[in-house]
A and B are shown apart, each in its own frame.
Chain A
């Protein structure tokens, strides 16, 4: 019983952690390049989940029944439109502030988060939206008398999609021209622009990629829980930010690792201590990590220059 229960929580934790990891990448990339906390990123994730829900309903209404095709199309539509949101947010709310005072981009980002949340609430209503389960079934891994460890097909899909998204993303950052520009901007924005990197374009594309990954996370969240509302972005955003900080902000493998850890900690806390206080656990980790380990697990120490 003990052992089976543990394995089940491990599976659930890894699934949840994959979703957090995908969102955390958006935070860590933006922080790495322009040194700001994109507070609206959690709400971009929420917008992605809503677009995915609407796209699902549209495609089903159009009479498409082949689930893999529907999933693929939803993935494309949600990523494209959510990326547009990411681009627009950067263009309208952050780019004009690049040389403003220290806290201006953060305040603007909070404003943007409020805008996105209330925009969705106004146009789609405050009620929880639900989607009938599209992918059913799964495998029973261990079946003892008292407890059966289940691995559902949705969980497999989530972990596989996350892995694919991570591989594609690592390839973009590691091997392409764009990735090289991004890494250059991360090291030194001014120097990169002197050496001919189009920094406006690179920063825009960073937001676009981050929003695209958040959209993937949004679809996964929608498939896993089956219901969304306009408020999911706030809590998920803070937890994903915690993941980014825990992994070391600015570090991409760190974000993924941090996401997994946060997902596991949250799941195990809920399973073994109290499910009421699982969010308190996540927020406390954020505070503790920021105070005692501000560079995170894989981050580089930040040197304050005058």
Chain B
């Protein structure tokens, strides 16, 4: 296997004491060390050590759940970079958008990537949900993980929506005004919920600050926790759902 000099160097690195002290294992050449690579790692241990070959096929998932999560990571990275150039204040927020366009190196590209990623995440999450539904992934024992998924779908919408206000241009201001007016239609608590969300009766600088805190701190943290539960439950509930009909039968024929 290890033929090129890079492979040799990597293998030598994996044998070193420092590598083993960090990863708690040597090179992953045996199934035992490959298992250790998963459950001996704080981040990877949410995944199962073994997966069904059928679940890896593109048609089983189209990797839609993976794409949703990877988009969350991409949005976290680009979002933190954008935070370096952003002040949640009126009208400085809008001036920061102008700075991103005309002053900051690659500022336009950074904002574009965050925006495209956000749209893609909304699409990926919905597509993921519908795909899981058509495959019967909400059935026992997966029903609670389906509920966690519904919560994650709502969190994705709130994340996208709170981010929509931050540029503080006409598009942002009126989109949030229209959206929050719908909340006040709720008969009992509608006006109070809207007041709590906006920090006032109108979309103003208090609303901008609240949406900023929700968008950059509260919602990402809550989403990260639910994502962790979502992944961990896939493993605990016995892996992804196989379609009852042909996939299972096809497998039985192979054996």
Q: Do A and B bind each other?
A: no
A residues contacting B by CB (< 8 A) are none
